[in-house]
Amino acid sequence: MKKIILALLILSFCLSIIAEESVSFQSASNTSAYFYSGSISDSERLKIYTYVWGQVEKTGLYIVPDNTDLLALISLAGGPTENAKLANVRIVRPTADGSKVIFVDLKKYIESGDEDLIPVLKPGDTVIVAGSIYYAFFRVADFMSKVAIVVSVIAAINNM
């Protein structure tokens, strides 16, 4: 009986290690895609809601001026991480027909400096910066090592 209780405690501990962190999403309090900001003494600005996911330093919801481009938004998010795949950044743009996906090659922009490669964002755009192949391999290897730990703990308990 003690073996079973000990095994369950160790198994639940190991499973809590394997479980990924939960992500909470906050919806915008305003139902419009645009947000007005300004005062009498300050310049009036129209702002839009945009989202950044993936391999940037600070993912989340960003409220930016309506003429913000992709490069500025990624910079506001702290820039890409070392695992970012800059050759395939996606912008998911909501349209009346559904969603439209735009692929942007930031690596080509970095090499050429051609500003025409950087699109201006629209309200409700979601920018997704994917991870590199190395990042995907690292995640799989990390998961497999945690599974191996759980299996070895169970084997050790059975040998007691």
Confidence of residue 159 (pLDDT cuts 50, 70, 90): confident
Average pLDDT value over all residues in the chain: 81
Cα distance between residue 91 and residue 77, in whole Å: 15
Average pLDDT over residues 50-65: 94
Q: pLDDT for 20-32, tens place per residue?
A: 443 334 444 444 5
The CA-atom distances, in angstroms, between 75 and each of 32, 106, 121, 128 are 25, 12, 14, 14
